Structure 1
Amino acid sequence: MKKATFLLPVAVVVGALVLSSLFIVDERQKALVLQFGQIKAVKENPGLAMKIPLIQEVVRYDDRILSLDTAPIEVTPSDDRRLIVDAFARYRIADVVQFRQAVGVGGLRVAEDRLAGILTTQTRQVLGADGVTSNTILSADRAELMTRIRDQSAARASALGLDVVDVRLVQTNLPDQNLDATFARMRAEREREAADEIARGEEAAQRVRAQADRTVVELVSESTRDAEITRGEADAERNRVFAQAYGADQDFFEFYRSLTAYERALQGGNSSMVITPDSEFFDYLDGSSGRDK
């Protein structure tokens, strides 16, 4: 009975030591076995692993691709047009031993601070290089610039045991103090273009009006000419008819002309004429001319 009482605690202690010597490495992780701060083993494959209990400890690091957003920075391209740029990076821990030696117990926090500094420096260098203008940064050529930033950042981040997978420029904006000037310049350009369009429209309208006025003058002149020709031809025909009628019966023609003169002279109820009684104007009124003939 005493022996069983003694063995039970021993079994519990041994079981606890065995369990504490075992640890599991997740497929999304890498692990380091440390002994008094020194690296004793690297566990990169998922599964069950062992360590010396109470003496060794296990530190795990994420083996997935991680994300880092940088703070907005101001860059000055070769055309001296300042821009505000912010970027994000995708990275992973490529060498867990080198990573531990570079950042120590600070882990990802220290690593991301250093990586952010590297990205900021390389972004300023690439975007501020000779031949890189603000138009280049804002055009489709920015893909090549992002590749250059990624490659240069990866070369420097390798000392931290990191592999920079990708770098992207998120936003590229003008500083606030430059926005008003840029908008004013754009507004002035649009107003100048609008004034040019209005001037060209007025010029075209003047040409159309001048052409219309000339057409009106030509049409009126032609119509007046045709009317005068027609009127002349009508007058000639009228005179021909009168002459023919006069030649056919001279007395009747004189009678007709006299009646026409009476009609035109004696119009309205208040018409007055002062002539001598023996005037030839009354030849056909008193009947004497008809009696003589």
Structure 2
Amino acid sequence: MRSINYLIPVVVIIIAGLLSSIFIVDEREKALVLRFGQIKQEVTDPGLAFKLPLLDEVVRYEDRILTLETDLIQVTPDDQRRLDVDAFVLYRIADIKQFRQATGVGGEAEATSQLKGIMNSQIRAVLGERGVTSNTILSPERAALMQRIRAQADSRASALGLSIVDVRLRQTNLPTQNFDATLQRMIAERDREATDERARGREAAQRVTAQADRTYEEILSEARRDARIIEGEADAARNGIFAQAYGQDAEFFEFYRSLTAYEKALQGKNSTMVMSPDSEFFNYLKSDTGANN
């Protein structure tokens, strides 16, 4: 009976020891087994794992993608237009041994602090490169700039055991003190462009007007020339008709010419004419009786 009483505590201790030597790693995490602060085992696969009771310590780390929001910093692109920029970063712990050695007991808090410094320096470096202007940062080329920031930051973050998955620039705003000056500079640039466009428009209009005037003068001169030719031909035809008519009956032709002259002379309201009675103009208005008398 006494042996059973001694045996029960021993069995309990053994069971407790076995249970304390077993730990479970979730599929969302990785773990390190530390013995007196030294890494003895790395557990990356989910499931059951073992350690020495009382001697070993299990430290767990996230295996999921983590997020980081950088502080708002000021960058100076190549065109000297300062911008306030911050970023949203996705990263994960790729090497838990390296991560433990780089951050120590600080863990994720220490890693976040160091990663913020890395991201800020790489954002300033890439956005401040020669040829990168504020317009470039705000254009579709922004995606290529974010990829370069990610690649350079990932190279440095690997020393912390981290892998940068993605980087997205969020705010890219002008500082308040520079906004008015930048706005006025943009207005001046647009005014200059508008003035240049108006000058080019006036120049084009002058060329079109000059061409139209030249074409008008050419057409008008050709029309006048053709009109004179037609007029000359008409006068020649008329004179030919008159000559032919005169040749057939000279007296009737003289009579017709006189009537035409009377019609032209007596046009309008004023029909008074002062002429000598002996003028040839009235030859066909005189009666033969009056002439005989």
Alignment deviations for residues 30-61 of structure 1 (CA, whole Å, 9 cap, x no partner)? 334567x6458535143323456677654322
1:108 is displaced (CA, Å) by 1.9
Distance 1:244 1:165 in 2: 112
> Does 1:152 pair with 2:156?
yes
User: How far did residue 225 of structure 1 move?
Assistant: 3.0
Matched with 2:174 is 175
With 19-28 and 78-87 compared, the bigger mean Cα shift is at: 78-87
Q: Which residue of 1 aligns with 2:201?
A: 201
Q: Check the 8 A contact 1:62/1:93 in 2, yes or no.
A: no
Residues 34, 41 of structure 2: 8 Å contact kept: no
Q: What is the rounded CA distance, in whole Å, between the counterparts of 1:214 and 1:57 in structure 2?
A: 99
Q: Look up the match of 1:188.
A: 188
Question: Which amino acid in the other structure matches residue 227 of structure 2?
Answer: A
How far apart, CA to CA, are the structure 2 residues paired with 1:144 and 1:116? 17
- The whole-number CA distance in structure 2 between the counterparts of 1:40 and 1:245 is 138
Matched, 1:86 2:98: no
* Partner deviation per Cα, 1:114-156 (whole Å, 9 max, x = no partner): 33234334544x4488x6453498444664454233213323x
Q: Secondary structure of 2:71's partner? A: coil
Please list every run of 5 or more consecutive structure 2 residues that lacks an aligned counterpart in the other structure.
Answer: none
Residue 132 of structure 2 corresponds to: 134
Equivalent position SS for 2:86:
strand
Q: Percent identity among equivalent residues?
A: 48
CA distance in 1 between partners of 2:190 and 2:206 (Å): 24
Take 1:97 and 1:51, find their aligned partners in 2: how far apart are those partners? 21
* Equivalent-residue separation in structure 2 for 1:65 and 1:100 (angstroms): 20
Q: Residues 157 and 164 of structure 2 are in contact (CA less than 8 Å); yes or no, is this contact kept in structure 1?
A: no
SS in 1 for 2:68: strand
Equivalent residues of 1:85, 1:169 under 8 A apart: no
TM-score relative to the length of structure 2: 0.70
One-letter amino acid matched to 1:154: S
For the aligned residue pairs, the C-alpha RMSD in angstroms reads 4.5
- DSSP-derived class of the 1:71 partner: coil
The aligned counterpart of 1:213 is 213
Runs of 5+ in structure 1 lacking a partner? none
Mark the CA change 1:187 to 1:272 in structure 2 (over 3 Å): closer, same or farther: closer
State the Cα deviation string for residues 241-281 of structure 1 (Å, max 9, x = none).
33343343333333333444444455689744566777652
Q: For 1:42 and 1:96, how far apart are their aligned partners in 2?
A: 9
Conserved in 1, the CA contact under 8 Å of 2:75 and 2:127? yes
Contact 1:21 1:50 in 2 (8 A): yes
SS in structure 1 at match of 2:287: coil
Normalised TM-score (structure 1): 0.70
The equivalent residue for 1:163 is 162
Q: How does 1:1-293 map to 2 (within 5 A)?
A: 18-33=18-33, 38=37, 41-44=40-43, 45-51=45-51, 58-76=58-76, 80-87=80-87, 88-92=89-93, 94-96=95-97, 99=100, 102-104=103-105, 106-124=106-124, 126-127=125-126, 132-135=130-133, 138=137, 139=141, 140=144, 143-155=147-159, 157=160, 162-166=161-165, 168-171=167-170, 173=172, 175-176=174-175, 177-265=177-265, 271-272=271-272, 281-282=282-283, 285-288=286-289
Displacement, 1:92? 0.5
Alpha-carbon spacing, 1:95–1:277, altered in 2? closer, same or farther (3 Å): closer
3-state SS of the aligned residue for 1:134?
coil
Change in Cα spacing, 1:181 to 1:272, as seen in structure 2 (3 Å) is closer
How many Å separate the matches in 2 of 1:278 and 1:50?
156
Deviates further, 86-95 or 264-273: 264-273
Once the two structures are superposed, what CA deviation does each residue of 1:162-195 show, in whole Å capped at 9, x if it has no partner?
Answer: 2334463524735324444444434433332232
| SS across alignment from 2:74 | strand
Q: Deviations along 1:38-90, whole A, 9 cap, x unmatched? A: 45853514332345667765432223443333223223457655443434251
